[in-house]
Amino acid sequence: ALARVVADPAFVLAPVRPRLFGSFVEHMGRCVYTGVYEPDHPTADEHGFRADVAGLVDELGVTMVRYPGGNFVSNYRWEDGVGPREERPVTLDLAWRAIEPNQVGTDDFLGWCERIGVEPMMAVNLGTRGLAEAVDLLQYTNAEPGLATADRRVANGRTEPWDVRLWCLGNEMDGPWQMGHKTPEEYARVAEEVGRAMKRFDPTLELVACGSSNRSMPTFGTWERVVLEQAFDQVDHISAHAYYEPVDGDVDSFLASAEDMERFIDAVVATADHVAAVRGSDRRIDVSFDEWNVWYQSRFPGELGLDIRDVAPLIEDVYDLTDAVVVGSLLITLLRHTDRVSMACQAQLVNVIAPIMTEPGGPAWRQTIFHPFALTARHARGTVLRLAVDSPLVATARYGEVDQLHTVATWDETTGELVVLAVNRGLVGDLTLDLDLSRFGDLSLVEHLVLTDADPAATNTAAQPERVVPRPGDATLDDGRLTASLPAVSWHCLRLS
Ligand code: AHR
């Protein structure tokens, strides 16, 4: 089947926002311990962080990392994680029923971010704690020496403020599983008051209110409206979280998961704009998609199915080729909404539903989902273009008929580089991409990389870490017309300049 696309450098949606390539480090399973941090590992740096993992984080192109949770943050005492390591208490995290050694905390994380050049996004605990502790933490990280809170940081070895710009006002407070779960009205008041206090310390902070934990939450829509009606002047972004997996073996719908993400974003934007309209405000609240990924939640027993235990593997999903294609497609959707999605965090970074896997004391490797993320983060630059797409349709049980071709393009006027990302989200049936680039003048094809496999269930493991990797595709460019074959279940990165 043929999919026709016309691109034009004049049809600009909005600039690519670098924060779309964020990730997430939670104190959960082996994300922190034996993930990013393992002082006994042969590659550990002087701070105890794994250099092999840091190298892969750099290759992944992550720009921003959210921390320390997730559900974990809603019962976290940040004070337990600062100061001399040998004096830090061992505590119990009730979110994941895990013993927390507190060997990594705020200063350790922020130092790691600074060394590897990523922006931190911190979350405050609005579950078991509230305004006072949030403001204390903010002063601990951001105040100049001379205040008791800041001098505590100085005593712990850091004089200069960390100057964290991005703060989440809690995590998934709409979820009954959350420690300190709240009704929309309860959370709205807390977000307003905590936001007001934090902005009194520094009006230039960017604050993210909790939105919905997924689009099928019973309070979805109402939650966003009530929260924004109350906290509109205090917050800058509202969060969205979504995880995808094939439900009851329905891979057609799974491959079209980006459709759910798209409808989710559109609904949150409409709600935020409705609140603005009622207030007579031109202010735009953007969406922070600060947890998204493929997650086989059906394989997870739930928190109560877990014995209280030390650091141990938790939700270490091994991703296959199909999962990687879905991840590539979700990234396409985030880019296609760069006008209103201000940032996004793939959840999570290492071991826990992650692109990077490690063995304690052993190697680190790239899961299949690493590749679309790394190539997108590396090459999507400049502005996102609106494309004219004429694609065959695929029927899905969950979303109805969707375009078989899912695509986006970015155009960097300064370097003259055009990047087209494309997915054939059909389970069967190859597509021929016919892309009209005549409006760009003289372009040549730099590279066509494809992620596909004869076995859609192929995975990367410690024993075979390079089983699924991007390989050269067959694109040709002739007189402003690009042609490429897109096999069923495949993700593509086409670069031209
Ligand atoms: O990323 C795993 C968990 O998923 C997070 O802790 C929580 O915020 C979400 O429900």
ipTM, 2 dp? 0.99
CATH class of 18-379: alpha beta
Residues classed as catalytic: 172, 291
Buried b (16+ CB within 10 A) or exposed e, 182-213: bebeebbbbbbbbbeebbeeeeebbbbbbbbb
Extract the tokens encoding 170. 């809690």
Distance of CA 295 to the CA centre of its chain: 13
Cis amide prior to 70 (ω within 30 degrees): yes
Nearest CA to ligand 1 atom 8: 70
User: Is the Cβ atom of 93 under 6 angstroms away from ligand 1?
Assistant: no
DSSP conformation class of 307: P
Kindly give the confidence (pLDDT) of every residue in the chain, 497 residues in length, as a single tens digit, with 9 standing for 90 and above: 999 999 999 999 999 999 999 999 999 999 999 999 999 999 999 999 999 999 999 999 999 999 999 999 999 999 999 999 999 999 999 999 999 999 999 999 999 999 999 999 999 999 999 999 999 999 999 999 999 999 999 999 999 999 999 999 999 999 999 999 999 999 999 999 999 999 999 999 999 999 999 999 999 999 999 999 999 999 999 999 999 999 999 999 999 999 999 999 999 999 999 999 999 999 999 999 999 999 999 999 888 888 999 999 999 999 999 999 999 999 999 999 999 999 999 999 999 999 999 999 999 999 999 999 999 999 999 999 999 999 999 999 999 999 999 999 999 999 999 999 999 999 999 999 999 999 999 999 999 999 999 999 999 999 999 999 999 999 999 999 999 999 999 999 999 99
DSSP conformation class of 348: -
CATH class of 2-9+384-496: mainly beta
Nearest CA to ligand 1 atom 5: 70
Question: Domain limits of the chain?
Answer: 2-9+384-496, 18-379
Q: How far apart, in whole angstroms, are the C-alpha atoms of residue 460 and residue 440?
A: 38
Nearest CA to ligand 1 atom 4: 70
Cα torsion angle, 251, 255, 258, 259, sign: negative
Nearest CA to ligand 1 atom 1: 347
User: Is the Cβ atom of 105 under 6 angstroms away from ligand 1?
Assistant: no
Q: How far is the CA of 391 from the centre of ligand 1 (A)?
A: 35
User: Is the Cβ atom of 71 under 6 angstroms away from ligand 1?
Assistant: yes
14 to 9, 338, 381, 410: CA distances (angstroms):
12, 6, 11, 10
What own/partner pairs with CB < 8 Å and gap ≥ 24 does 463-471 have?
465/363, 465/365, 465/366, 468/320, 468/321, 468/324, 468/368, 468/371, 469/371, 470/371, 470/375
Extract the tokens encoding 464. 């075979």
How many Cα atoms sit within 13 Å of 456 on the Cβ side? Answer: 17
User: Is the Cβ atom of 38 under 6 angstroms away from ligand 1?
Assistant: no
Distance of CA 64 to the CA centre of its chain: 9
Terminal Cα-to-Cα distance of the chain (whole angstroms): 27
Nearest-Å Rg of the Cα atoms of the chain is 22
Extract the tokens encoding 322. 């199909």
The total of other beta-carbon atoms located within 10 Å of residue 232's CB is 20
User: Is the Cβ atom of 69 under 6 angstroms away from ligand 1?
Assistant: yes
Q: How far apart, in whole angstroms, are the C-alpha atoms of residue 229 and residue 94?
A: 32
Give the global pTM. Answer: 0.98
Q: How far is the CA of 150 from the centre of ligand 1 (A)?
A: 30
The total of other beta-carbon atoms located within 10 Å of residue 151's CB is 14
User: Is the Cβ atom of 70 under 6 angstroms away from ligand 1?
Assistant: yes
Q: How far is the CA of 226 from the centre of ligand 1 (A)?
A: 23
Q: How far apart, in whole angstroms, are the C-alpha atoms of residue 123 and residue 264?
A: 22
User: Is the Cβ atom of 460 under 6 angstroms away from ligand 1?
Assistant: no
Q: How far apart, in whole angstroms, are the C-alpha atoms of residue 15 and residue 443?
A: 21
Nearest CA to ligand 1 atom 3: 70
Total residue count of the chain as it appears in this document: 497
